[in-house]
Every structure is written in C-alpha cells, then in structure tokens.
C-alpha cells in the first residue's frame, strides 16, 4: 500500500487534461484517517479547478475530489484504532479521485446500511453546502418559503429535500428543461419553472405564493435582481455560485427598505472546526432521514476512475439530474 492510482490534471484546460498516474499513498496526521476509496462524487468545483479557474487552499491536496465513501484502513494516533474497518462517507480537503484518501476523522460519517457506496459518496459536498447555507447562514425556520435555483443538480436536489423535510411552507425550484422541472417536483418542490422557456419571476409574482423568505442561488447574473425583488421583509439571499455571471445589479434602497441580507459563501475554505460542526448537524438532521428512507440520493451516472473525463464531460453538459459518481476499488 505504498502507491495508488489517482487522477492527475496535466495542465489547466479541458477534460482531455485528465490522466491516471501512480502516486504515493497519502500520509495522515494525528486526527486523520486513511480511507480506501470505493466511490467519489464529482462536483462543479472539480471542473473549475481543472480549468484553472479555482485555486484550492494551500494546505489542500492537489488531487481533485471533495467527497468520498469507503473503508477506514489506517488511523492517526489521536483516533481510536477500533475504527479501522469502519465503512464511512466523508467530506475531503481534496484527494477524492484516488484509490486512497486522507480525511479529517471529524468530517466522516458512518455509512447508512440502506445506502450504496456510490450513493453515500454523493452526499457530503452537497449536504454540507446546503446545511451550512440554509440553516447556519440563512437561519431557515419552519414555515419559510424557499426559492432554489438549479433545482435538478446535486445541490438543488439536496436543497429541495432538506427544505421540505425541515418544514418549509413552500419550495420553488428553477431548472433548464421541462424534464428537469418534473424531476424537481418529484423530489419535493411545490413549483418548478423552466427558466429557459418561461419567466420564473412572472410566474411567482402572478401566483398566490407571496413573498419569498430565502433564495438559494447558484446562477447569479440577471437572476440576482429578480431574486431580490421576490424576497419579502428580512428575506435572505444566499449566493453559492454564479453560473450565469458574477456581475449583478443591486438596488441598495430595496435592501434597506426590506432589510434583506445578502451573503455569499464557499465551503472549501471553511476551517476544519466549522466543517466538523456542520458534520454534526448532518448527523443529527439528515442521517435519521436517510435511514428512514425519507431523503433520497439520485446518482445519475457512474464512471470508473479511469474514465473521469466522461464524468467531467457530463457535468459540463449540464444534462444530468442529481449526482455524478466515480467508482474506485470496486470488485
């Protein structure tokens, strides 16, 4: 167990820059565990990092991959040796596209018996992101009305379900096709609007929905101003990406009058202690719902580690619904 297969980015660019190489198995520090990776989730930050548009934290692994599932095969001296052999899924600090991955043990969660490794590997990045934004930053409370853009992707799928299961009064989603809108409704959204063929803004304004309490936005651009207009008194706008553009038009007067809060966040730069706190929240809130089969994980497609290029191509096509997964060390 001295060397492992891993995906390397030869140089910034397209998916053709991905290659399989041999690397040394990562060393672990005192509070880390070494996971034999069975599956790894594919996420949009992986695409941005491959393109050279996102620089990982200086202390992070240069290998792509922010979430994995697998089996603990080694522990640091501050972690109980009894955990060797435990099946887990975990948020990583990079390094997921490899046969072995070093992970802070406090960012690991026990694998539910009713989930496959592939399903479990697709939970951490999205659930940590949604929990942190919706509940910690956004202060979600039962009865809130929530608008979720990009509802058919990994984060959107997770956000719809978490908002619904936490007691949202109304969950509204947007997506890029009628098929994706139907997927959002099947996932728990009360309304889903195809932003390519209809105005979600007009549809909401003309409905009986009323003012929105929280907007979870990954689109940015021209969507931002419309989001702010739809928010009610003390509404919360949570920006987590800007797929249609990072420059927005902002009416400060409207923010002041309605006391709207606008926040932006990314998960990866958060401290280890913050991520551990989020993990505890996921353990308390989400794991019981998974075990009760109330929360579903949709894996759109699985690819082998050696075919990471195809996984990235599918992600960039935006034709998937739910998550994309790499399978590793599966026999």
Percent of the chain with pLDDT over 70: 100
DSSP 318: T
β pairing state of 170-175 and 145-148:
parallel
- Taking only the tens place, the pLDDT of each residue in 225-281 is 999 999 999 999 999 999 899 999 999 999 999 999 999 999 999 999 999 999 999
Which H helix or E strand runs over 33?
strand 32-42
Does residue 205 have a pLDDT over 80?
Answer: yes
| Share above pLDDT 90 across residues of the chain, in percent, rounded to a whole number | 97
- Which residue's structure tokens are 């990092």? 49
Judge contact between 207 and 184, C-beta under 8 A: no
Q: What is the pLDDT of residues 135-187, one digit of tens each?
A: 999 999 999 999 999 999 999 999 999 999 999 999 999 999 999 999 999 99
pTM for the structure as a whole = 0.95
- Per-residue pLDDT at 1: 73
Coil, strand or helix: which one is 190?
Answer: coil
pLDDT class for 107, splitting at 50, 70, 90? very high
For residue range 27-36, what is the model confidence (pLDDT) as tens digits?
Answer: 999 999 999 9
Distance between CA 157 and CA 205 in Å, rounded? 24
Beta-carbon neighbour count of residue 330 at 10 Å? Answer: 12
Domains plus CATH for the chain? 3-123+269-327 (3.90.180.10), 127-264 (3.40.50.720)
225, 200 Cβ separation under 8 angstroms: no
Place of tokens 């390094």: 95
Based on its alpha-carbon atoms, the radius of gyration of the chain, rounded to whole angstroms, reads 20
pLDDT band at 326, cuts 50/70/90? very high
**pLDDT at position 330, please?**
74
Partner residues linked to 147 by β-bridges? 172, 215
């Amino acid at each position: 167990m001295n060397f492992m297969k891993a995906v390397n980015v030869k140089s910034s660019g397209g998916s053709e820059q991905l290659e399989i190489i041999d690397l040394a198995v990562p060393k672990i520090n005192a509070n880390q565990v070494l996971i034999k990776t069975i599956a790894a989730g594919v996420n949009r930050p992986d695409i941005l990092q491959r393109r050279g548009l996102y620089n990982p934290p200086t202390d992070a692994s240069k290998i792509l991959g922010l979430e994995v599932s697998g089996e603990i095969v080694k522990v640091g001296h501050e972690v109980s040796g009894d955990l060797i052999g435990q099946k887990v899924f975990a948020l990583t600090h990079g390094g997921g596209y490899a046969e072995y991955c070093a992970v802070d043990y406090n960012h690991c969660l026990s694998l539910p018996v009713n989930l496959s490794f592939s399903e479990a590997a697709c939970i951490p990045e999205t659930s940590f992101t949604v929990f942190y934004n919706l509940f910690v930053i956004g202060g979600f409370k039962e009865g809130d009305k929530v608008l979720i853009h990009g509802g058919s992707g990994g984060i959107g799928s997770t956000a719809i379900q978490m908002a619904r299961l936490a007691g949202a009064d109304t969950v509204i989603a947007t997506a890029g096709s009628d098929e994706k809108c139907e997927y959002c409704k099947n996932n728990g959204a009360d309304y889903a609007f195809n932003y390519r063929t209809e105005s979600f803004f007009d549809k909401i304004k003309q409905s009986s929905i009323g003012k929105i309490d929280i907007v979870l936005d990954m689109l940015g651009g021209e969507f931002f101003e419309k989001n702010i207009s739809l928010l009610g008194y003390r509404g919360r706008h949570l920006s987590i990406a800007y797929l249609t553009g990072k420059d927005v038009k902002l009416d400060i007067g409207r923010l002041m009058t309605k006391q709207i809060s606008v926040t932006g966040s990314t998960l990866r730069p958060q401290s280890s202690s913050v991520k551990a706190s989020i993990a505890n929240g996921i353990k308390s809130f989400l794991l019981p719902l998974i075990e009760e089969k109330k929360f579903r994980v949709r894996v759109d497609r699985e690819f082998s580690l050696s075919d990471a290029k195809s996984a990235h191509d599918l992600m960039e096509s935006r034709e998937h619904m739910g998550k994309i997964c790499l399978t590793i060390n599966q026999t």
